[in-house]
Amino acid sequence: MTSCGKKAPKLGVHPIDDVIAAMSLEEKASFVVGTERMKTTPPDRAPGMPVREMFSPELKEKLMQCETQEEAMELMIATSLVEGRVQGAAGQHYALDRLGIEPIVYADGPAGLRIDPTRKDDADEYYCTAFPVGVSLSSSWDVELVNEVTRAMGNEVLEYGADVLLAPGINIHRSPLCGRNFEYYSEDPLLAGKIASAYIKGIQSNGVGVSLKHYAVNNQETCRNGVDARLSERALREIYLKGFEIAVKESQPWTIMSSYNKINGTLASENYHTLTEILRDDWGFEGFVMTDWWAEENGARQIAAGNDLQMPGTLHQYEEIYNGVKDGSLDEKTLDQSIRRIMNIMLKTPTYRHYAYSNKPDLGAHAKVTRQAATDGMVLLKNVQKSLPLDSKARVALFGTASYDLLVGGSGSGNVNRKYKVSLDEGLKNAGVELEDNLTKVYKDYTSAERAKMPTENFWSVPVIPEMPLDKALVKNALSKSTVAILTLSRMAGEGGDRHVVKGDYLLSDVEEQNLKLVCQTAHAMGKKVILVLNLGGIVDLTQFVALPDAILHAWMGGQEMGNSLADVLMGKVNPSGKLPLTWALRYSDYPSAGNFPLSDGDSAYVRYAEDVMVGYRHFNTQGIKVLYPFGYGLSYTTFAYNNLIIDVLGEQIKVSADITNTGKVAGREVVQLYVGKPSVDGLLMPAKELKAFTKTKLLNPGETQTVEMIVPCSELATWMEAENKWNVASGEYTISVAANVEDVRLKGVATL
Ligand code: BGC
């Protein structure tokens, strides 16, 4: 009962506006600030960001009593876990019983649901499926596949009792060194936006929500909390926001997560321009915005800008919002609007639908989905004299520690607590392939001895077994008893840090280089072939080494069934059809961002996006710079011919069709890309080609033809005009290229607008 004796209205029973009208200011400020308040480690601060009290007094005292750093770290990690309804979820909403406000649950994302797999005094298990990472999904260029994966993933969100999955992450690969590129999709916003739309639709088809992240211009981890990304409005609109725009318009995510960084001097979570003027006024976003975890400078400013929920919530935010309304600097109507947006979404959640979740999703069925999905994203980079697929009678000498301990996902919030993972030796054995036993035993003994010495995995770090140095006798002996060598090379990555151009990271380590050379030289001297498998969430500098192996398969981080998926492709059960969602340059310094990454000026926490819209292939292709592998590149075990280009300008759209024929000997699928070259307006520099549509054929049998159709809305050909502050579609001739990759144009025509 309220003080005046009237019963309080309840959310879900009474109209939202009645509930808001019944809320005290304390309740309103509590409602828009998550439950965590003061507990754990906020992300790395850029210079100038406020220094906050990180720990509660109780935790501080306990930390003082820890004897080792590891003990302290474990305590911090343990205290950061939400012990709410779904343990290990990233955050929970503030409950207000009086008003029927129940705590809805937010959990990571994006390669599967991230929750604690076991619970104290509970014999049940809560493992989730580790699906392929983001860059593997986008390499499939297959929106139907992504939708299938995320229908399964969203079912786990629903059945484990969470309401919103904190995914997908779609920030642009501005630099190959960004530590979270494995979670993100591409250097191209159209590919990122289309994959994200399919992802969002798949998850939300389960009646649970997503949080499309990290909005926006969050292209690095260095100084991530507050680094200032300085860029033109044109680059912002055409490159860094475009993927978000596509995803919002096509799939209306329930929520969006703002990012830690500043955009042209203003924090993304306090940025009225991006959060209100663009996201809501221009694009018509209907959901609510939450902060990334502990992204905060001023809670009142966040609400005023249109950042509705502050997660996981700090005391400062609560106080600033409360005081802001009291002193008139924050309009209470603006706060009410944020509350209304959140409540609108809350009412759609399983929590409010009182969904009786089972805690028993069909993990067996989902394992099949992830097994197939990982194969769809694998990119065949090289295949001399049809080295792949392997003969069914192949006897394999399996090299590389990662072959026996594949990295199936990255670290940080994107790491899924899976029940198991399939290594490549297991995958090959499951496929009936004979391995050279002595070599396998040497590797297995080595990996188990090394693993025993290593620290256990935690949120920030998934320790990786160091590469085992090979000696000549072992290699020779193993190859003498085998028909072919497979060597796997891996890299871990995760949030909280960027990669570096050093040996063992962007460059191969000395041991990796020596092993690769030794295996290739020995195998070739014996007339045997070497297959290099790449198990990375991004790329490494391979320029010096591509000539060595006979075939190279980029398998990314393919989720828990990765060993089986790899065997499917290596043995030819599945014909690879993935293509690169990024440009693989000859050297790091060729990337247009290289001079301004991660910071532009020593210790000052800002980055100039000097390359403007010329990101990735837009730069390389326009300047004619030679690359190792171009954007959109990928081979198949078969070949395809492109014929009969038809271009129709139909009112507000351009319709393009072409015939794709399988001209090889095995069935396969082809990713078909449509690039447009725009006429210049007002002397602005235009990329020579921009991806404006793509499609993937069905599985085509040898000799079979499919007519594919791609539609480009004319509005998507617009250029952002800085001076006029608006989009402009120029009249003139647009070149249309139907291509197998950005450099391999198969059919060319013109559309006149
Ligand atoms: C990450 C987000 C994640 C959140 C919750 C942050 O550190 O940047 O991507 O969703 O934590 O775990």
Instruction: Tell me which residue has its CA closest to atom 9 in ligand 1.
Output: 413
Q: What is the pLDDT of residue 402?
A: 98
> Residue 484 C-alpha to ligand 1 middle, in angstroms?
43
- What is the residue-wise DSSP string for 452-504? HHSPPP-SS----PPPPPP-HHHHHHHHHT-SEEEEEEE---BTT----SSBT
pLDDT of 84 strictly over 90:
no
pLDDT of 3 strictly over 50:
no
pLDDT of 82 strictly over 50:
no
Ligand 1 atom nearest residue 496's Cα: 7
Of 254, 287, 40, the C-alpha closest to 157 is 254
Summarize pLDDT for 231-242 with one digit per residue, the tens.
Answer: 999 999 999 999
Phi, psi of 172 (to 5 degrees): -70, 140
Least confident span in 130-139, 314-323, 482-491, 651-660: 314-323
DSSP state of 598: S
Cα distance between residue 396 and residue 424, in whole Å? 11
> Residue 91 C-alpha to ligand 1 middle, in angstroms?
10
Instruction: Tell me which residue has its CA closest to atom 7 in ligand 1.
Output: 293
The single residue listed with the structure tokens 């399996």 is 398
High-pLDDT (> 70) share of the chain, %: 96
Ligand 1 atom nearest residue 413's Cα: 12
> Which residues, other chains included, contact 283 with Cβ-Cβ below 8 Å and sequence gap of 6+?
245, 248, 249
| Burial of residue 441 (number of CB atoms within 10 Å: 0-12, 13-18, 19+) | exposed
pLDDT of 287 strictly over 90:
yes
pLDDT of 722 strictly over 80:
yes
DSSP state of 104: -
Q: What is the pLDDT of residue 94?
A: 86
High-pLDDT (> 90) share of the chain, %: 87
Please report how the helices 189-204 and 143-159 are oriented relative to each other, as an axis angle in degrees rounded to 10.
Answer: 40
Summarize pLDDT for 558-578 with one digit per residue, the tens.
Answer: 999 999 999 999 999 999 999
Ligand 1 atom nearest residue 312's Cα: 5
pLDDT of 70 strictly over 90:
no
Cα distance between residue 134 and residue 198, in whole Å? 12
Q: pTM of the prediction?
A: 0.96
Ligand 1 atom nearest residue 43's Cα: 7
What residues are annotated to the active site? 292
Summarize pLDDT for 649-691 with one digit per residue, the tens.
Answer: 998 999 999 999 999 999 999 999 999 999 998 889 999 999 9
> Residue 215 C-alpha to ligand 1 middle, in angstroms?
12
> Residue 77 C-alpha to ligand 1 middle, in angstroms?
14
Instruction: Tell me which residue has its CA closest to atom 5 in ligand 1.
Output: 90
Cα distance between residue 513 and residue 535, in whole Å? 16
Cα distance between residue 137 and residue 148, in whole Å? 11
Using most ligand atoms within 8 A of CB, pick from 113, 259, 293, 459 the residue to mutate for ligand 1. Answer: 293
Mean pLDDT score of the chain: 94
Q: What is the pLDDT of residue 43?
A: 66
Q: Is 612 left (phi over 0), alpha (psi -120 to 50) or beta?
A: left
440 to 396, 397, 403, 463: CA distances (angstroms): 10, 8, 10, 21
Q: Which residues line ligand 1 (CB under 6 A)?
A: 43, 90, 108-109, 166, 213, 292-293, 413, 495
Q: What is the pLDDT of residue 2?
A: 44
> Residue 292 C-alpha to ligand 1 middle, in angstroms?
6
Summarize pLDDT for 460-515 with one digit per residue, the tens.
Answer: 788 999 999 999 999 999 999 999 999 999 999 899 999 999 999 999 999 999 99
> Residue 397 C-alpha to ligand 1 middle, in angstroms?
40
Q: What is the pLDDT of residue 276?
A: 98
Q: What is the pLDDT of residue 78?
A: 61
Instruction: Tell me which residue has its CA closest to atom 8 in ligand 1.
Output: 292
Structure tokens at 746: 């198969």
Structure tokens at 744: 């391999």
> Residue 293 C-alpha to ligand 1 middle, in angstroms?
6
Q: What is the pLDDT of residue 77?
A: 61
Ligand 1 atom nearest residue 167's Cα: 10
Ligand 1 atom nearest residue 109's Cα: 10
pLDDT of 641 strictly over 60:
yes
Using most ligand atoms within 8 A of CB, pick from 77, 106, 108 the residue to mutate for ligand 1. Answer: 108
Cα distance between residue 349 and residue 194, in whole Å? 25
Cα distance between residue 699 and residue 100, in whole Å? 52
Q: What is the pLDDT of residue 5?
A: 52
Q: What is the pLDDT of residue 226?
A: 94
Structure tokens at 572: 């030819």
- Is the CB of residue 197 less than 8 Å from the CB of residue 207? no
- Is the CB of residue 660 less than 8 Å from the CB of residue 672? yes
